[in-house]
Amino acid sequence: MDFDVCVVGAGHNGLITAAYLAQSGYRVGVFEKRDIVGGAVSTKEIVPGYQFDLGGSAHILIRLTPIIEELNLSAYGLEYIELDPLFFAPFPDGDSIYIYRDVDRTVEHLESKFPGEGAAYRRFIDDWTDFSEAVCRTFLSPPTPLSLGKNLAFGPSTRLSSTDALRLITRPYGAVIDEYFREEKLKAMLQWMAAQSGPPPSEPMSGPFVLWHPLYHKGGIARPKGGSGMLTQALRRHIEAHGGTVEVSAPVDEILVENGKAAGIRVGGDAYTSRAVVSGTHILETLEHLLPPSHRPESPARKMRVGNGFGAIVRLALDRPVRYAADPSDDARTALQLVCRSPQQIHAAYGDYLNHQPSSDPPIVGMSFSAVDDTLAPPGHEVLWLWGQYYPYELANGTSWDDIGDAVADNLIDTFEAYAPGTRDAIVGRLFQHPLWLERHLSLRRGNVMHLEMSIDQMFMMRPSMDMSSYKGPLDALYLTGASTHPGGGIMGASGRNAAHVVLHDLD
């Protein structure tokens, strides 16, 4: 037997599963098709002198888990830099809003700008802090009716009456925000942040995407020093230090099956045997490609909604720091920059997407982490990412991203230029990651950064499907992890940790 466990795919979830298994003394082999580990949590020098993240950048959810401490990742080179302010929202009329890590400071700031809204913000945070923590607890174990019931239905999860709570939880998050706030600018800011999980503000049952907002104050937002990919580099070092093997440029072609059980993997002409296999790839890669034809479930793609793309991001190398007209301070560069003038702008962008058109007037999240990390760009220079939604993978009239990509990136930059004049002139290099780019380079099918749509019908026990939600695949000894499984996409690692517990239970 070559390994106790083979892990397919070195996304952060696959690596986290491998790290827990290696730390428990099992012989682990991780096989990744790209030339670096990390999947959608990786960083590369794309423009000389500038470190570009190629996937997720803002580390939020993982900081609410015990993973960093349990794996002692600081001993393997991971160093987090906290962002404060957390969020900055500039507006075309020169106004701006901040949300700070500290709730009191945020309340005071909002109250001074929009009397009454600071108090509303405090009420919102107080109403939903316990609930948001309960939601977070449900992320840290396999989804079962018992864990959901214990944490959400029967726990002291909100100070509201159960009828009020249920009404808000089942509402679209846009409507929840309308119920608490009056000021359109604050509504735009909160809606745009909640929209980052994917569903639009009008989607029923999406209330939790804003009701977990108190968690930003609890866990903060952070950046690994050196780039987002330093998390996955640290995981690789951890696995190797515990005797594990991590192979890159090693695309797995097949999961080997013996007597109806997963028994290893094949990479080209090389077969590796193991007691168990964990697949951390997109679920459809596992079911449609990695399983031998005789063991594939029937038409899985019909039962799982990948959706039609999600967002797109232009990564810019600038020869000077970004400066917002509404606030040229370094505080603005430090925070996540929510560049969205109104809730209507989000609705219009989603309307374009439904028509299979790239958003013509995209709301943007700006990120300039060189404000807090001087290893990302030469001195005095900047890395600036502009993330826009919504961008369909499949475009109207058969248009190809290869043909329109440059023009769409230019539109994102022009939209941003209105808020930070001079940005275009500062550009010395760029990379545009549109949905087709994300599929080609990061294996994110149809450009969905969350693997499968994050709508209520595909969450908890329904992710990736009812019969595979406990991290177990359709074969004995085949396990699943990654954004295709509970609790879904984002840099969190909870799926990797939960899957490790299931595998450890079965192996021990």
Ligand X SMILES: Cc1cc2nc3c(=O)[nH]c(=O)nc-3n(C[C@H](O)[C@H](O)[C@H](O)COP(=O)(O)OP(=O)(O)OC[C@H]3O[C@@H](n4cnc5c(N)ncnc54)[C@H](O)[C@@H]3O)c2cc1C
Residues 369, 376 contacting (CB under 8 angstroms): yes
Residues 90, 423 contacting (CB under 8 angstroms): no
Residues 70, 62 contacting (CB under 8 angstroms): no
Tokens of 417: 């230029």
Of the two residues 251 and 292, which places its CB atom closer to ligand X in the complex? 251
First to last CA, the chain: 17
Of the two residues 158 and 233, which places its CB atom closer to ligand X in the complex? 233
Of the two residues 39 and 473, which places its CB atom closer to ligand X in the complex? 39
Tokens of 159: 């100070």
The contact set with ligand X (CB under 6 A) reads 8-14, 31-34, 39-41, 55-58, 60-61, 251-252, 280-281, 285, 313, 433, 438, 442-444, 449-450, 482-483, 489-491
* Shortest distance, position 493 Cβ to ligand X, whole Å: 8
| 246: nearest Cα among 7, 441, 416 | 7
Of the two residues 193 and 438, which places its CB atom closer to ligand X in the complex? 438
Which residues, in sequence order, are CB contacts of 298 under 8 Å at separation 6+?
Answer: none
Residues 130, 124 contacting (CB under 8 angstroms): no
* Shortest distance, position 459 Cβ to ligand X, whole Å: 14
Closest-approach residue to ligand X (CB): 11
Measured in whole angstroms, the distance separating CA 267 from the mean position of its chain's CA atoms is: 28
Q: What is the CA radius of gyration of the chain?
A: 22
* Shortest distance, position 438 Cβ to ligand X, whole Å: 5
Of the two residues 9 and 343, which places its CB atom closer to ligand X in the complex? 9
Tokens of 237: 């070092």
Of the two residues 151 and 197, which places its CB atom closer to ligand X in the complex? 197
The DSSP 8-state label assigned to residue 291 in this structure reads S
Q: Report d(CA 209, CA 198) in Å as an integer.
A: 9
Q: Report d(CA 297, CA 128) in Å as an integer.
A: 41
* Shortest distance, position 236 Cβ to ligand X, whole Å: 12
Of the two residues 190 and 313, which places its CB atom closer to ligand X in the complex? 313
CB atoms within 10 A of CB 152: 19
The amino acid occupying position 23 is Q
Q: Report d(CA 191, CA 174) in Å as an integer.
A: 6
Of the two residues 251 and 380, which places its CB atom closer to ligand X in the complex? 251
* Shortest distance, position 458 Cβ to ligand X, whole Å: 14
Residues 367, 222 contacting (CB under 8 angstroms): no
Would you put residue 39 in left (φ > 0), alpha (ψ -120 to 50) or beta? left
* Shortest distance, position 446 Cβ to ligand X, whole Å: 12
* Shortest distance, position 290 Cβ to ligand X, whole Å: 6
* Shortest distance, position 194 Cβ to ligand X, whole Å: 14
* Shortest distance, position 468 Cβ to ligand X, whole Å: 15
User: Which residue is listed with tokens 């043909």?
Assistant: 403
Of the two residues 68 and 449, which places its CB atom closer to ligand X in the complex? 449
Residues 370, 376 contacting (CB under 8 angstroms): yes
The amino acid occupying position 26 is Y
The DSSP 8-state label assigned to residue 152 in this structure reads I
Residues facing 337 on adjacent strands: 88, 366
* Shortest distance, position 259 Cβ to ligand X, whole Å: 24
Of the two residues 14 and 29, which places its CB atom closer to ligand X in the complex? 14
